[in-house]
Amino acid sequence: MQQEKIVRAMFMGHEIVVHNFWRATRDEFASEATLAFNGAIVDRTRELSSRKARLSATLIDGDRRHAVEVIFGGRFIMRIKILIDGKKVAGNLR
C-alpha cells in the first residue's frame, strides 16, 4: 500500500507546498514529508509514524516574518493542514 499527497497554498505571492509520501509493505515502511517555499525545501522529515508529526519554517517576506507550520494526522488516509501565523490556510485536517 502506498499514498502520496501534495497540498499547496499561496501566501503573499509565495507558493507553499507540502509533499507527503509513504509506502508500507510486509517487510518495510518508508515515509517522507517535505515543506517547500517557492520551490526550495525548507524542512523535511522521515518520522511520520507519530500521529502528530510536524514540519515548520519561517517565511520571510521583505521585513516581515511568518511562522509556517504543517501538521499531519490520520492513520491510513494522510491528512495535512498548513498554518501560517497560527491560522489554517490549506489542507484537509481540522
Select the more confidently predicted residue: 31 or 11.
Answer: 11
Q: What are 30-57's pLDDT values in tens digits?
A: 788 999 999 999 999 876 555 557 899 9
Distances in Å between the Cα of 22 and the Cα atoms of 4, 37, 48, 70, 86 are 7, 22, 9, 16, 27
Q: What are 53-86's pLDDT values in tens digits?
A: 789 999 999 999 999 999 988 776 788 999 999 9
- CB neighbours of 80 closer than 8 A, spacing ≥ 6? 5, 7, 18, 20, 70, 71, 72, 73, 91, 92, 93
Copy the grid coordinates of residue 43.
524542512
Specify the pLDDT at position 49.
Answer: 57
